[in-house]
Structure 1
Amino acid sequence: MVEIAPVRSLRVLYQPLLAGALLLCASACSQQQGRDIATQFSQGNPQELFQTSVDRMATLAMRDNLRSLYLLMNKLYLRNPNQWRLSGFVDATTAERQIRQAIEQRQTLPQLGERRDLAALSYALSPEFRGDRAGAFIYAIGSMLVTAHGGRSEFFMTDTINPQFVSNAARNIEKATWMLSQRQDENGVLLLFSNEMTEEGSNLSFAVEFGKIVARLDLLAQMLDERYRRIGLNYAQSLLLMNFLPVQ
């Protein structure tokens, strides 16, 4: 009993200190969390306040898909340096800039006439087309992507995206990728050089980048489908269980 008393007294002494330390830690963590939230808000776009998590995901996916597409355009011009000269622009950089602008601002390309989306894609990969095939091919896919997302590249609460159209766009890109590697002219020469497999090595970077676009589209389609499915299920459950909906 003589040895227990000091232990109890120490415990009584340290308990307030421990509580104070925990309180200080909680306060510091709360302050740090507050600073992190403030930093995120300061670095974000005010428009994000009008986006759900799915809207934000769709916006970021579109941004990344267009970046992948522009990277592929640059690679196609490097593999097919004769193409940009058929565009009528002074160099490849100018051609790339004009095609990006046409995609993002929903403009047409003079060499494609009034064709957009699938019509432009079919024409760009046909033997009859005589213009800048690389630029037309990328424009057609970019135009199709924007159309499949309702004609927009940024999305907010009031916007709706049809998941079936997004999924269809992914399938179209898979077909276009195959056509890119197979279509030949009357002399048996590929219309556009992209992936390459030789004894010296392989270059499958085109297939990899197109695969990234397809994967993003499929993920977004699944997220959209689940989002709308849950809205319907939640409404059905409220009717089934006869629950009143909250008003505050």
Structure 2
Amino acid sequence: MLAPIELDGGSEFVEKEVLKSLRLLTQKLYLRNPQEFRKQGLETPHVATAKLFNQLEHWSDSPMKDLDWQENFKLSFVEDYPGDRVHTYMSALLTMIMASYEHKQTFFFCDALDAQKLYNSARNIETAVWKLSNAKFPTGQQYLLTNTMDDLVDNLSFEREFGKLIADQDLMALIIEGKNNRVISRIVTSAASFIFLPI
């Protein structure tokens, strides 16, 4: 009789925390930038956020699985882009992170995650966050409002959530590195270059 394959609860737990952070960040971006979800004809930040994350329920068949996430990141900051910038930016982030987990949400101990992909995804998040905070229209206005000096508490909570997201991906990379006994290539990139590492 074959022994049952055990679930890898640790990987699932970390990924769930990462997806929870992504959902919260999406809602925060929509709250700061309500004009974006209205471009889709949607009425609330909650509805717009749900529309994106409902894709996870059928991810293997979702067109988002094959999204060119690097192109979507760049599209978010094209001056005359007419679409929903929050959806475009966060769908890129979601797809890139799902790729770092091999597009899975359930894991068994026989499943092999790639520590390098997880590490690279953390560096890519840093690059994407830098761009989000610094990209501006020629007028000087940010493409997407994030941090403001007017509301320090909310400002810090926004930064904390992105920081938690990066830390979770780095933690997962270290766990898998130790488990597989394969050393991560710790590549240093400049966030300002807006160049992403492969996943």
- Do the structures match in fold with TM over 0.5? yes
Greater RCO, 1 or 2 (C-alpha within 8 Å, sep 6+): 2
Contact 1:73 1:138 in 2 (8 A): yes
Q: Does structure 2 retain, via aligned residues, the 8 Å contact 1:117–1:147?
A: no
TM-score (norm 2): 0.79
TM-score, structure 1 as length reference: 0.65
Paired with 1:192 and 1:224, the residues of 2 have a C-alpha distance of: 34
Q: Tell me the equivalent position of 1:101.
A: 54
Match of 2:192 in 1: none
Q: 1:128–1:50: structure 2 CA closer, same or farther, 3 Å change rule?
A: farther
Does 2:15 correspond to 1:62?
yes
Match of 1:138 in 2: 90
Give the 3-state SS of the residue equivalent to 1:204 in structure 2: helix
Which residue pairs with 1:168 in the alignment? 120
- Alignment check: 8 A CA contact 2:5 2:109 kept: no
Cα distance between partner residues in 2 of 1:108 and 1:220: 26
Q: Kindly indicate whether the alpha-carbon contact (under 8 Å) linking 2:5 and 2:108 is maintained by their aligned counterparts in 1.
A: no
Cα separation, 2, equivalents of 1:205 and 1:62: 20
Q: Unpaired segments of 5 or more residues in structure 2?
A: 183-199
Larger Rg: 1
**CA positional deviation for 1:58:** 1.3
Structure 1 stretch 150-159 or stretch 217-226: which is displaced more? 150-159
Q: What is the root-mean-square deviation of aligned Cα atoms in Å?
A: 2.2
Alignment coverage as a number of residue pairs: 175
What is the CA–CA distance in structure 2 between the aligned matches of 1:178 and 1:104, rounded to whole Å?
Answer: 30
CA contact (8 A) 1:103 1:143 kept: no
1:179 aligned residue (131, 146, 168)? 131
State which of 168, 171, 176 in structure 2 corresponds to 1:219: 171
> CA separation of 1:66/1:201 partners in 2, compared to 1, >3 Å: closer, same or farther?
closer
Instruction: Check whether the contact 1:103–1:142 (CA below 8 A) recurs between aligned residues.
Output: no
- The percentage of counterpart residues that share the same residue type is 30
More helix by share: 1
Look up the match of 2:37. Answer: 84
| Alignment partners' CA distance in 1, 2:74 and 2:111 | 29
1:117/1:103 Cα in 2 relative to 1: closer, same or farther (>3 Å)?
Answer: farther
Matched, 1:209 2:161: yes
Shift of 1:169: 0.3
SS of residue paired to 1:196: coil
| Deviation digits for residues 34-54 of structure 1 (CA, Å, limit 9, x no counterpart) | xxxxxxxxxxxxxx9622xxx
The residue type equivalent to 2:31 in the other structure is L
3-state DSSP of counterpart to 1:165: helix
2:141 corresponds to 1:189: yes
1:176 CA drift (Å): 0.7
Partner of 1:152: 104
